[in-house]
Structure 1
Amino acid sequence: MNSSKPTHADSMDLAKFPISLKALLETPLPRKSADLKSLDTLVLDFETSGFDAEKDKVLSIGWVEIRNSQIRLTSARHIVLDQPVLREHDSARIHHLRPETLRHIGISEEQAFSQLFGVMKGKVVVAHCCVMEKRFLQQYLTTNYGQAELPLVWLDTLKIEQYREQLRQVRRDWRLSSIRTEHGLPGYQAHNALNDAIATAELYLAQIHRLFTHESAPLHIVAEISA
């Protein structure tokens, strides 16, 4: 990390923010030329009650860390949130999260996002179709702290794959499971935040290897692809 760069927190009053969010805002971004293969990475997935960040809720969060191009399964975490679910039947059918599960083992949004901010610090963030995670994260920040964004570099395995296929002029199914099959990765149970995070981590490493093989993987190139 380049500690000489100004941070997002330099012009902000952080007194109202939780400690983990303050720390994240005060952490500088990595250099654009940094090699992704050596950067600490957080692979993230949200399961939500719908697609509208203003009306729907995050039901569960899953993440796993990558360090030195290796998935650290000991870092894997699955958090269930205690949320009122309007479409309870669909939530149970799609995400396998029953209302009683959310009530009995779920933690508050504040607790869940505070833990997430803590593990995000100093890491590049990867998600499959990261627009969903970004929208719900931004909505939470705006609603609770009047802060619309975080100093994060987001990488999107969906857009990385679309870039690869654009070079080959091929159109196909962009679901995570289908792209994994194309890369020769095994099947998995979808619509579970932790399963999806680990599945995305495996796909991300396969994509980076195919794009750069044994050469360095400049952060700015993959960030531009993911934009």
Structure 2
Amino acid sequence: MRNFRKSLRENKLCSTSFTAVDLELTSLDPAATQITSIGYVNGLGGRINLSSCGYHVINTSADLGQSPVIHGLTLDLLQQGEGLAEALQLLMPQLDKQILVFHNAKLDLLALDNAFKQCALPEIEVIYIDTLQLALHQLKKQHQVLPSQSATLTVCRQRLGLPVFPEHNALDDALATLQLFYAQLNEFGVTQEDSLEVLMHTHAVGRYRLG
């Protein structure tokens, strides 16, 4: 943990590259869920690099359940998608070189871990930030019992005055998550000259081994 904190302390936010990642999944059950699409976008110095956007629809034969109703990815669309291993290989440079940003990191990291094992990809350790946990940290200061749905991506953005965005598309959600993260830094009073260590007390910064 000491080396982890040291690595966070040594890198200022202004020189740290972030990649927001979002997965659309077949279910919320970590043991059974399958990835149907992956979206990601990079940011540096408080700015979002739109030219870095990536979006991959995954060809899967998994039971879709109600996910097409939510995400709009029907079986026909998925059958035209990429193989999971191919999409993960394209995602790998982001995982290896950037600090990852998720909204609900636990679910997405478990799904990525299962996908890595399914595709027999080499293990990789990632550092991540969870905008959901950043929101919960602030909400718990104000509420003993959290209001229902108070930490969804949409509600978190509304609370910080961010514009409405199209929901349930992996790329749109990744863009929305990175915007939210930058707004949360401002809410916490964190500047680009600070390091990620200043967020450690929120329990929103962590590391995870995939594969």
TM-score (norm 1): 0.79
Counterpart of 1:96 in structure 2 is 72
After superposing on structure 2, the runs of 4+ consecutive aligned residues of structure 1 that deviate more than 6 Å are none
Check if 1:162 corresponds to 2:162. Answer: no
Residue number among 20, 31, 43 corresponding to 1:66 in the alignment: 43
- Contact 1:59-1:82 at 8 Å conserved across structures: yes
2:116 is aligned with what amino acid? L
Q: CA deviation at 1:31?
A: 1.7
Counterpart of 2:102 in structure 1 is 127
Q: CA deviation at 1:164?
A: 1.8
For residue 197 of structure 1, give the secondary structure of its aligned residue in structure 2.
Answer: helix
Gap change, CA 1:102 and 1:168, over 3 Å in 2: same
Mapped to 2, the partners of 1:215 and 1:119 lie a distance apart of 21
Mapped to 2, the partners of 1:182 and 1:203 lie a distance apart of 10
Alignment of 1:1-227 (within 5 A): 31-33=7-9, 34-87=11-64, 90-104=66-80, 106-145=81-120, 150-169=124-143, 171-172=146-147, 173-214=150-191, 216-225=193-202, 226=204, 227=206
2:103 is aligned with what amino acid? H
Q: CA deviation at 1:37?
A: 3.5
Mapped to 1, the partners of 2:104 and 2:139 lie a distance apart of 16
- Contact 2:13-2:192 at 8 Å conserved across structures: no
**1:26-83 superposed Cα distances (whole Å, 9 cap, x missing partner):** xx99822022332000000000001223322100000010011101111111110000
For residue 151 of structure 1, give the secondary structure of its aligned residue in structure 2.
Answer: strand
Mapped to 1, the partners of 2:121 and 2:78 lie a distance apart of 27
Mapped to 2, the partners of 1:108 and 1:215 lie a distance apart of 38
Gap change, CA 1:29 and 1:103, over 3 Å in 2: farther
Mapped to 2, the partners of 1:220 and 1:198 lie a distance apart of 24
Mapped to 1, the partners of 2:194 and 2:167 lie a distance apart of 29
Gap change, CA 1:97 and 1:127, over 3 Å in 2: same
1:168 is aligned with what amino acid? Q
User: Which stretches in structure 1 are left out of the alignment for 5+ residues?
Assistant: 6-27
- The structure with the largest strand share of the pair is 2
Which region of structure 1 is more displaced relative to structure 2, 53-62 or 211-220?
Answer: 211-220
Gap change, CA 1:124 and 1:81, over 3 Å in 2: same
Which region of structure 1 is more displaced relative to structure 2, 90-99 or 49-58?
Answer: 49-58
Gap change, CA 1:223 and 1:80, over 3 Å in 2: farther
Q: CA deviation at 1:181?
A: 0.4
Mapped to 1, the partners of 2:40 and 2:135 lie a distance apart of 21
Q: CA deviation at 1:138?
A: 1.1
Over the matched positions of the two proteins, sequence identity in percent amounts to 23
Mapped to 2, the partners of 1:41 and 1:181 lie a distance apart of 22
TM-score (norm 2): 0.85
Which structure has the larger Rg?
1
Gap change, CA 1:221 and 1:83, over 3 Å in 2: same
Q: CA deviation at 1:98?
A: 1.2
Mapped to 2, the partners of 1:124 and 1:134 lie a distance apart of 13
